[in-house]
Amino acid sequence: MKNSKSLIIMSSLAIIGIQCKKDEAVVTPPVPGHEYMTTVKLRLENTANPNDTIWATWRDLTPEDTNAPDTSLAIVNVKKNSTYKLSAFILDETHLPAEDITEEIRERANYHRFFLLPSSSISNYVVVTPTDYDSNSPSLQLGLENVVTISDNIASGRLQGILKHQPNTKDGTMEVIQNYWVI
């Protein structure tokens, strides 16, 4: 544990941030209807030791109410001076079986961008670099696959997750918007 510090991945959720409602008149081909993003899972695999794999899960199974999300599985310990491959998975668990929205986001990569932003307490010690791209010209980052570099001064902090849906307007930028969920 002496080489580890806590990297807290906590979450809060607002209904505006958990829904990805698409305007079918704008996007071609037609976009599937409204879905909830009830669950975000982050898989961190240490690139030096694949057996060192950590999962963080943020879940809000009642997105239409004001109950707090379940963040009990959203705390991870990462090693100092390490690099992790981070994969993000987004699910709608209001359906049985749960719907994996991640694949839809990948299929529509030209309209989506997933951001993982370290909080100010760790922003100098944690670098998140997306490694997946869409097919726009020029290519823009998608952000479901990342390399996360941890320095030797890591402390406790948070990663904020923001999924942007920008049909026909994706430019790879993000304006900070309150009410988006935080991982």
Query: Residues 73-87: pLDDT tens digits?
Result: 888 889 999 999 999
**Mean pLDDT, rounded, of the chain:** 79
**Looking at per-residue confidence, does 154 or 109 come out higher?**
109
- Please state the rounded mean pLDDT for residues 36-42: 91
Residue 57: per-residue pLDDT: 94
Using alpha carbons, list the distances in angstroms from residue 83 to 38, 40, 124, 127. 28, 21, 15, 9
Pairs from 58-65 (Cβ < 8 Å, separation ≥ 24) = 58/9, 58/11, 58/13, 58/161, 58/181, 58/183, 59/93, 60/11, 60/13, 60/18, 61/93, 61/94, 63/13, 63/15, 63/18, 63/19, 63/36, 63/37, 63/38, 63/94, 64/15
Per-residue model confidence as pLDDT tens digits over 96-125:
899 999 999 999 999 999 999 999 999 999
Domain range list for the chain: 4-165
d(CA 172, CA 143): 10
- The confidence score (pLDDT) of residue 24 equals 44
CA-wise closest residue to 89 among 143, 141, 139, 134? 143
Confidence of residue 33 (pLDDT cuts 50, 70, 90): low
The answer, yes or no, to whether residue 15 has pLDDT greater than 70, is: no
b/e per residue 2-35 (b: at least 16 CB within 10 A): eeebebbbbbbbbeebbebebeeeeeeeebeeeb
| Segment among 76-90, 128-142, 158-172 with least mean pLDDT | 158-172
pLDDT attached to residue 135: 93
Categorize the per-residue pLDDT at 66 as very low, low, confident or very high, splitting at 50, 70 and 90.
confident
